[in-house]
Structure 1
Amino acid sequence: MRASRLLSVLLLLQNRGRMTADELASELEVSVRTVYRDIEALAEAGVPVYADRGRSGGYQLVGGYRTRLTGLSEEEARSLALAGLPVAAAELGLGTVLAAAQLKLYAALPEELRTRAGQVAERFYLDVPGWHRGIERLDRLEEVADAVWRSRRLKVRYRRWDDSAVERVLEPLGLVLKAGNWYLAARCDGSERTYRVSRIDELADDGAFVRPDRFDLAEYWRQWSEQFERRMFPRVALVRLSPLGRDLVPFYLGAVGARALRESGGEPDEDGWSRVELPVEPGAPALGELLHFGPELEVLEPADLREQVAEAVARMGALYG
């Protein structure tokens, strides 16, 4: 562990130039005293580390010294797929591993390319979760990820959407991060299914299994997502939308509504309104979704949904006199 940290100190100084003890301690998540000991150990090993004293001082390598100890470990190589998702890497327990892998890659780059790579990190940041979403507890994510890596069967206690608990034996095939939430694609009772990781309350190793050779996680997720959308939005409402209403569709109905707007949106009439077929949820949620639009949307069909909207609008009008 210490040898890995010493290499990280060396690569940090090589990639970033002068760094203070506080900066190194923060980067490596250790104490400043530990940094002092590591710097002494590097010096004793013959690494030319120079210390500048004073308020603006710090540590740096002398004379353009560079190391070629940049080989990636197995874990570091795995973590590179998450290079643009530091939060996801941390949730999977690969945060420090990813940082070490990136340091080694930067160290292997020519100076010009290393500078450009650093500029990208300074100018672009990917924040995956949506606004106004609570942070899920992910007590079991690392264990689930380990089972995916090692093809280990899991016996789990899983909470369904209605909060009832069931026991399942799963063969984990892959993890998907969608809108800040982690989902597990797994085989259960001979069929492939999807489970929300935050709803796994208990798990235990249940032995090895043989992973199917032709399983394509991306294709599985695409098909499952399409089926999920069809289940969530089993009805279609024919509506009239004002120009502002059209602009509001992606905000209120997300990607599903935006796609419907592209595929079914007709030409605007003389007043600028257009007819669109929008997928809606069953029951009360559909009414709430359509009321979001206020006077910018008129429901034409089905008749029962139009009546529900009209009744809700009348009740609202009565509240406000």
Structure 2
Amino acid sequence: MRADRLVAALLFLQTRPSGARVTAAELADELGVSERTARRDLEALASAGVPVYSQPGQGGGWALVGGARTDLTGLTAPEIRALFLLTGPDSAAANPRVRTALRKLVRALPAPLREGAEAAARAGVADGTDWTGAETEEVRLAPLQRAVVEGRELRIGYARPGREPRERTVQPLGIAVKAGVRYLVADTADGLRTFRVGRVASVAETGAPAVRPEGFDLPTAWRALAARMEDRMVAATVRGRAAPGAEGVLEGLFDGRIRYGERAPDGWAPFEADGPSPEAAAARLAGLGARVELLDPPEARTALARIGAELTALYGESEPAGTPEAPARARASGATRPG
């Protein structure tokens, strides 16, 4: 910890204009330590050969001899801009460690690069508010990251969509980010697996060290895992036609895995869309109602017809579900509510 403070003290000194002095009280406030500790740190820098000197009396303080500077980064201007654009002010505000790291980095930069870094940090905004209401990743992310770094075996509860969480023992190997979504890459009894961080319901260390496969390389492993996920996402292709104005909704439903043909004179456009199964594709299209006609394959049309029949049985009558007549009508039609 003292080594960190000494580096921070040196960076604080070198941000001052040439000839300007820093008092022990100012440094103490910056580092969050006592004035006595700050004075000892300054003296330690001088003893270590850093060209820092003190001047006693009114208006005195500590300064670097001749405005000496230390470049601790080795970063280029484009690299610095990219870093500060990535970790803008809102990201730093949300994470005290990021804020401290960026502050130290700014002070370590040579003067010609510092202004551009500060401008890049002000050029973006990050809003962590989740408008979708989906599960947050942040609660589970910290213990998962710690287990990866420290090599700790974990017992996690993992909930797939529509199912209760199931516990399993995993060997955490890394965290991957795909389109803004974080995944834990871990070794399991069934081989390498990915776990969406937002679906991790619980995290507990088993007390055993994690077993890391020999020669494991996270980027290589992730590419293989991602390829498998991509294959599952495009395992089935459905064909249909879409009414004018439906294309934007379809793009979102199929995450861009959709192709259009030439629009017909009536304005409808033929399309092909890829999904994990014909049934899953039909479920995605059900909300579009009559704005989409599904043509192929037959099992997708059957699934869509079944969904339509269930919705008609459940909502086709005028009585709300809470009225005495509604349950009887639903039972008569054979419809059941989802659990």
The question of a shared fold, defined as TM-score above 0.5 by the shorter chain, is answered with: yes
RMSD of aligned alpha carbons: 5.0
Cα pair 1:173 1:211 within 8 Å, conserved: no
Q: Residue 269 of structure 2 corresponds to which residue in structure 1?
A: 274
Letter of the structure 2 residue corresponding to residue 120 of structure 1: A
Q: Residue 238 of structure 1 corresponds to which residue in structure 2?
A: 239
1:107-186 alignment runs, 5 A limit: 107-125=107-125, 131-132=131-132, 133-136=134-137, 138-139=139-140, 141-150=141-150, 152=151, 154-161=153-160, 162-168=163-169, 170-178=170-178, 181-186=181-186
SS for the counterpart of 1:292 is helix
1:213-228 alignment runs, 5 A limit: 213=215, 215-228=216-229
Q: How many Å apart are 1:309 and its aligned residue?
A: 5.8
Greater mean deviation of Cα atoms: 199-208 or 113-122: 199-208
2:287 to 282, 286, 292: 292
Letter of the structure 1 residue corresponding to residue 182 of structure 2: W
Q: How many Å apart are 1:122 and its aligned residue?
A: 0.7
Give the whole-Å Cα distance in 2 for the aligned partners of 1:102 and 1:95: 10
Cα pair 2:177 2:183 within 8 Å, conserved: yes
- The count of corresponding residues between Structure 1 and Structure 2 is 287
Give the whole-Å Cα distance in 2 for the aligned partners of 1:118 and 1:104: 12
Give the whole-Å Cα distance in 2 for the aligned partners of 1:231 and 1:158: 23
Give the whole-Å Cα distance in 2 for the aligned partners of 1:277 and 1:225: 23
Cα pair 2:85 2:123 within 8 Å, conserved: no
Letter of the structure 1 residue corresponding to residue 245 of structure 2: L
CA deviations 1:133-173 (Å, max 9, x no partner) are: 3324635x4454344335x35152433433353342x3332
Give the whole-Å Cα distance in 2 for the aligned partners of 1:287 and 1:127: 34
Letter of the structure 1 residue corresponding to residue 204 of structure 2: E
**Structure-2 change in CA distance of 1:310 and 1:196 (3 Å):** closer
**Structure-2 change in CA distance of 1:189 and 1:42 (3 Å):** closer
Q: Residue 214 of structure 2 corresponds to which residue in structure 1?
A: 212
Percent of aligned pairs sharing the same letter: 26
Q: Residue 11 of structure 2 corresponds to which residue in structure 1?
A: 11
Give the whole-Å Cα distance in 1 for the aligned partners of 2:138 and 2:109: 38
Give the whole-Å Cα distance in 1 for the aligned partners of 2:245 and 2:214: 49
Q: How many Å apart are 1:304 and its aligned residue?
A: 0.8
Give the whole-Å Cα distance in 2 for the aligned partners of 1:172 and 1:239: 43
Cα pair 1:287 1:308 within 8 Å, conserved: no
Give TM-score, length-normalised by structure 1. Answer: 0.64
1:249 equivalenced with 2:250 (yes/no): yes
Give the whole-Å Cα distance in 2 for the aligned partners of 1:319 and 1:310: 17
**Structure-2 change in CA distance of 1:179 and 1:190 (3 Å):** same
Q: How many Å apart are 1:290 and its aligned residue?
A: 1.3
Q: Which runs of 5+ in 2 are unaligned?
A: 21-26, 47-51, 56-60, 75-81, 320-339
Give the whole-Å Cα distance in 2 for the aligned partners of 1:129 and 1:227: 31
**Structure-2 change in CA distance of 1:36 and 1:289 (3 Å):** farther
Cα pair 1:12 1:103 within 8 Å, conserved: no
Give TM-score, length-normalised by structure 2. Answer: 0.61
**Structure-2 change in CA distance of 1:63 and 1:82 (3 Å):** closer
Give the whole-Å Cα distance in 1 for the aligned partners of 2:155 and 2:126: 32
Give the whole-Å Cα distance in 1 for the aligned partners of 2:153 and 2:36: 43
**Structure-2 change in CA distance of 1:201 and 1:147 (3 Å):** closer
Give the whole-Å Cα distance in 1 for the aligned partners of 2:4 and 2:164: 44
SS for the counterpart of 1:307 is helix
Cα pair 1:8 1:103 within 8 Å, conserved: no
**Structure-2 change in CA distance of 1:242 and 1:25 (3 Å):** farther
SS for the counterpart of 2:86 is coil
